[in-house]
């Protein structure tokens, strides 16, 4: 029996739930994956208190940040939200640093990329975000490494624009090696290109 690999999602008030919707749903359902149901999703909060997403959903964290260690995780995911730019989540950024230092992947989208930039994590590696000017406001030194793409995978770090949730999910799936390449191409054909052929390809995978 295949053991589950846990992908941890940080949970906080105003988290942009739609930015991680494709990622969480398709990792959790296990369909068409290499290991057929190999992944599970767990949410991580600063405390066990419920948080409310930007979409109005209440999320009760599965564990607290102090309980999370890189060795027990397949990836740490930082969704966007209204509070990253203000520096409201230093503990999450610190945890991301610890994950990268331990060689465990981190994926950040939208506002979370701003926080990583402000912490210097994007100064010397290819990355993307909502816009180069958006990240420049963080005062970071990585402008020359900005890539004008919806999502970028650079080793253990995945970054994405907040308007590219499907591209973000594909980049995460790619980094986790969750699908055979041709299956992932069909998935992207269906959900990004809205091509019905992708559906039939997945059904026959």
Task: Respond yes or no: is residue 110 known to be catalytic.
Answer: yes
- The residue length of the chain stands at 205
The active-site residue out of 44, 110, 112, 169 is 110
User: Could you give the CA distance from residue 130 to residue 162 in angstroms, rounded to a whole number?
Assistant: 6
State whether residue 188 is helix, strand or coil.
helix
Q: What angle do CA 79, 115, 78 make, to 5 degrees?
A: 20
Phi first, then psi: give them for residue 34, nearest 5 degrees.
-55, -45
> Within the chain, how many helices (H) and strands (E) appear?
7, 9
User: Could you give the CA distance from residue 106 to residue 93 in angstroms, rounded to a whole number?
Assistant: 10
Largest CA distance in the chain: 49
60 close to 48: Cβ distance less than 8 angstroms: yes
User: Could you give the CA distance from residue 102 to residue 99 in angstroms, rounded to a whole number?
Assistant: 5
104 close to 156: Cβ distance less than 8 angstroms: yes
Residues known to be catalytic = 110
């Amino acid at each position: 029996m295949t053991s589950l690999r846990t992908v941890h999602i940080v949970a906080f008030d105003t988290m942009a739930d739609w930015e991680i919707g494709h990622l969480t749903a398709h990792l959790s359902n296990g369909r068409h994956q290499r290991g057929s149901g190999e992944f599970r999703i767990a949410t991580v909060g600063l405390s066990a208190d419920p948080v409310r997403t930007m979409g109005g959903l209440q999320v009760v964290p599965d564990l607290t940040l102090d309980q999370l260690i890189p060795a027990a995780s397949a990836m740490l995911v930082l969704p966007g939200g209204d509070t990253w730019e203000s520096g409201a989540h230093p503990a999450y950024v610190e945890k991301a640093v610890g994950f990268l230092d331990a060689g465990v992947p981190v994926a950040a989208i939208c506002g979370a990329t701003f926080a990583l930039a402000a912490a210097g994590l994007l100064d010397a590696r290819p990355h993307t975000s909502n816009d180069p000017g958006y990240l420049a406001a963080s005062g970071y030194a990585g402008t020359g490494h900005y890539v004008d793409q919806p999502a970028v995978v650079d080793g253990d770090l995945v970054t994405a624009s907040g308007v590219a949730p499907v591209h973000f999910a594909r980049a995460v799936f790619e980094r986790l090696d969750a699908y055979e390449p041709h299956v992932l191409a069909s998935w992207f054909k269906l959900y990004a290109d809205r091509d019905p052929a992708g559906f039939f390809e997945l059904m026959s995978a």
